[in-house]
Amino acid sequence: MSTEPTKILLSEDEMPRQWYNIQADLPVPLPPPVGPDGNPIGPDDLARVFPMNLIEQEVSTERWIDIPEEVLGILKLWRPSPLYRARRLEAALGTPAKIYYKNEGVSPAGSHKPNTAVAQAWYNKQFGIKYLTTETGAGQWGSALAMSCKLIGIECKVFMVRISFDQKPFRKIMMKTWGADCFPSPSMETAIGRKILEETPDTPGSLAIAISEAIEQAVERDDTRYALGSVLNHVMLHQTIIGLEAKKQFDKIGKYPDIVIGCAGGGSNFAGISFPFLCDKIHGKEVRVIATEPEACPTLTRGPYVYDAGDVAKMTPFLPMHSLGHRFVPPAIHAGGLRYHGMAPLVSHVKQLGLIEATAMPQTECYEAALLFAHTEGFIPAPETSHAIAQTIREAKQAKAEGKEKVILMNWSGHGLMDLQGYDAFLSGRISDYALPEEMLQRSLQSLEGHPQIG
């Protein structure tokens, strides 16, 4: 049995040619986005923000959607991504569990995010769009979209939260290298940015402000649209290539996972690895699926399931999701990509249906897991990814306690080579645990008052 390879590889010919849409298999349909009056939002209401071809994907209930040839061609620059057997991590844990990780850190931008960025840039170009605007916090999404727009041939404008713009220069330089315009947000480029700068010239900015700036620029020009890196249904769809590849890779070695694990910020890499397996689960297969989030931003584990806005200015429709409240101000934990107040409607919905489990991780356990991973497998994970690793280690220890040979699949969502400040802080003892205090959560949930009810 020792003939199983360390990397289970697919050839480019074996790459999936269609995305999987879980909306076709949901036992209960997803509640629609609604306006402030509680009435469903239609495709036309979104047409100034997104191109119609992506809006069609957003509401589609077709099970399989073809991946355009040109998108496949670009994804082939790094896909299919390898599925690794983490033998050295297993040995260090002394576990009978077999641990596999899908390495999404091999993309040029270093994470899973280009899987949807390339597709979104392509559909916008097809629709005649010349400029895409977006926001970025630490810069992972902005750099993925910058690269994708350059490869597809449209212009990209990124509003980057000012404090990250000043403190994390390397992602900004990546975006500029790929030819994008990158502005610190709030900026003088938009009315909302100028207003906020006038009132509070020293503001560090926030993701919510940056979203408002990016949407403002998108809606005021016919040749410009806005792109979002997570949360929406079409983003989950584009990421399913991860899980579809993983299923083919498991077929090659004649195995099937008992447990599938992903970290969850907005939910896209988790949906990407898990939805193709959830399809089997909906049709009777036994598989546990676990989303792991930070204790500091416990959206799935402590946030109620409600209609909430995607941004602080309520420029987006109300989406049905687990949420901490749209005015939630996330604490400065290092896993920047896991700090969003809401969770993808599709991920929230499968949680409501009891198809997935969710856990919340303390930060130090995540960094310890990341170090053990780097010490055994070599790769340095992104701080977000370390949450999935920590959950995987918990499950591997449980398998050891039970003496069971479980097969665990984890999504390794990205590398941490642009996040070394966090490692520096941990290695010099400057990272401590922080669980969101209950009274802070309750205060934040007050912003949900008056929103429409689900159902």
Ligand X SMILES: *Cc1c(COP(=O)(O)O)cnc(C)c1O
Q: Which residues are near ligand X by CB under 6 A?
A: 111, 113, 140, 230, 263-270, 337-338, 382, 384-385, 413-414
User: Residue 161: which residues within 8 A CB-CB, separation 6 or more?
Assistant: 135, 136, 137, 184, 185, 204, 205, 206, 207, 209, 210
Distances from the Cα of 130 to the Cαs of 125, 149, 155, 232, 316, in angstroms?
7, 10, 6, 22, 22
Residue nearest to ligand X (CB): 414
Contact 409, 259 (CB under 8 A): yes
CB of 69 to ligand X, least distance (A): 26
Q: Which is nearer to ligand X, 190 or 240 (CB)?
A: 240
Report the residue number, 184 or 337, with the smaller CB distance to ligand X.
337
CB of 332 to ligand X, least distance (A): 16
**Shortest Å distance, C-beta 382 to ligand X:** 4
Measured from the CB atom, the residue of 205 and 337 that comes closer to ligand X is 337
Give the contacts of 404 (CB within 8 A, at least 6 positions apart). Answer: 96, 97
Cα distance between residue 356 and residue 261, in whole Å? 10
Residues 103, 130: contact at Cβ < 8 Å? no
368 closest CA partner among 376, 336, 337, 133: 376
In the complex, minimum distance from the CB of residue 243 to ligand X, in angstroms, rounded to a whole number: 13
Q: Which of 94, 98, 73 is nearest to 85 (CA)?
A: 98
> Shortest distance, CB of residue 206 to ligand X, whole angstroms?
17
Q: Which is nearer to ligand X, 71 or 382 (CB)?
A: 382
- Nearer to ligand X by Cβ, of 111 and 301: the residue is 111
- Nearer Cβ to ligand X (192/370): 370
Contact yes or no for 346/63 (Cβ under 8 A): no
DSSP label of 417: T
Number of H helices, E strands in the chain: 18, 15
- Smallest separation (angstroms) from ligand X to the CB of 368: 18
Q: Which is nearer to ligand X, 312 or 335 (CB)?
A: 335
When the beta carbons of 109 and 306 are compared against ligand X, the nearer one is: 109
- Residue 171 C-beta: closest distance to ligand X, Å: 10
State the amino acid at position 69 in one-letter form.
E
Q: What is the DSSP string of 16-63?
A: -SEEE-GGGT-SSPPPPPB-TTSPBPPGGGGTTTS-HHHHHHHH---S
Residue 411: HSE in the Cβ half-sphere, 13 Å Cα cutoff: 35
> Which of residues 123 and 379 has its CB atom nearest to ligand X in the complex?
379
User: Closest approach of Cβ 194 to ligand X, in Å?
Assistant: 29
Residues facing residue 155 across a β-bridge: 131
Beta carbon of residue 312, minimum distance to ligand X (angstroms, whole number): 19
Is residue 299 exposed (0-12), middle (13-18) or buried (19+ Cβ within 10 Å)?
A: buried
- Residue 244, phi-psi category: left (phi > 0), alpha (psi -120 to 50), beta (remainder): alpha
